[in-house]
Amino acid sequence: MRRIQFMKIALNLLLVAALPMAAGAQQMEAHIGNVTGHAEAGKALYYRYCWGCHGARGNGDGENAPYLNILPRNFVAGTFKCRSTPTGTLPLDQDLYNSVERGFNFTNMPSWNALTVEERANLVAFIKTFSPRWKTEKAGDPIQIPAEPALTVGSIQHGKELFQKLECWKCHGNEGRGDGPSASTLTDNNDQPIRPYNFTSDNRSKCGTTNKDLYKIFMTGLDGTPMPSFADVIKPEDAWDLVHYLRTLQYNDKSPELTLWLSTKEGAAIVNAQKVANTNTGSGVNP
């Protein structure tokens, strides 16, 4: 009898001790669709796959970091490039998950799609434990993206005007080659030189390949880099026009936008000139 009572007390004590842990665990989760990632489970994965670059404390100073020309992300700072949330806010769990899944084009961060969905969700949960920001702040409200309007020559032309007016060319160059007048001076938050995206190199931009990804890049900005947010400056309906034009700059990718643009005399002339390096396409102001 006495033994049973003792067991009961011990059990109660255990429960009490476990309670704060459970409350803490709530913050250490990541929600990806129906999957819940747990930081504890992600920890082992992190110290197997990630710390070589991102460091034991998550501040981006892993053993390999000095050899990388785009430094690994410092998770302690809590500043992330690819988000669906406004500039200056924390990303959604889904944004971090997408980055782990996709990897970063033009950097040493590979795609981790060899891991299972659960494993990647666990990693996201663990990554969030490095920055104190996750304890005091919530992720930002994702930006509202209206449905993509039908593609027309008019929308591409309007996008081209916006590219000029908003001075995208100052960094990305008139032809989107990433060689604008300010390109050579750009640095990121680590004071490391950083190149603006060269649209002619690939159809994969840093934060994904879809039109929606392109939309998000300039409306949220890539925090920690020179790429600012244009959310206060571009109306959502205009933003899709800019997306349509940006697609035509990716002339190695047979997108519907490029096909339509090539079918016009104006578009064909610009795209053909664009293919020859250092040729002025006449698409705008040249410095």
Residues 6 or more apart whose CB falls under 8 angstroms from that of 186 comprise: 171, 193, 194, 195, 196, 226
Contact 80, 95 (CB under 8 A): yes
The radius of gyration computed from the CA coordinates of the chain, to the nearest angstrom, equals: 23
DSSP states of 31-66 as a string? EETTEEEEHHHHHHHIIIIIHHHH-TTSSS--TTGG
Q: Which is nearer to another protein, 114 or 285 (CB)?
A: 285
Instruction: Please report whether residue 62 would count as binding another protein according to CB under 8 A.
Output: no
Q: What are phi and psi of 35, to 5 degrees?
A: -95, 135
Q: How far is the CB of 220 from another protein (least distance, A)?
A: 10
* Binding string, residues 217-256; x marks residues near another protein by CB under 8 A: ----x-xxxxxxxxxxx-----------------------
Instruction: Please report whether residue 131 would count as binding another protein according to CB under 8 A.
Output: no
Q: Which is nearer to another protein, 46 or 75 (CB)?
A: 75
Of the candidates 3, 185, 235, 278, which one interacts with another protein according to CB under 8 A?
185
* Binding string, residues 111-130; x marks residues near another protein by CB under 8 A: --------------------
Residues 138-167 contacting another protein, CB under 8 A: 165-167
Q: Which is nearer to another protein, 230 or 251 (CB)?
A: 230
Partner residues linked to 139 by β-bridges: 90
Per-residue HEC secondary structure of 102-166 comes to: HCCCCCCCCCCCCCCHHHHHHHHHHHCCCCCHHHHCCECCCCCCCCCCCCCHHHHHHHHHHHHHC
Q: Which is nearer to another protein, 37 or 140 (CB)?
A: 140
Instruction: Please report whether residue 29 would count as binding another protein according to CB under 8 A.
Output: no
Give me the residues that bind another protein (CB under 8 A), please. 77, 79, 86-89, 165-167, 170-171, 181-182, 185-186, 189, 221, 223-233, 287
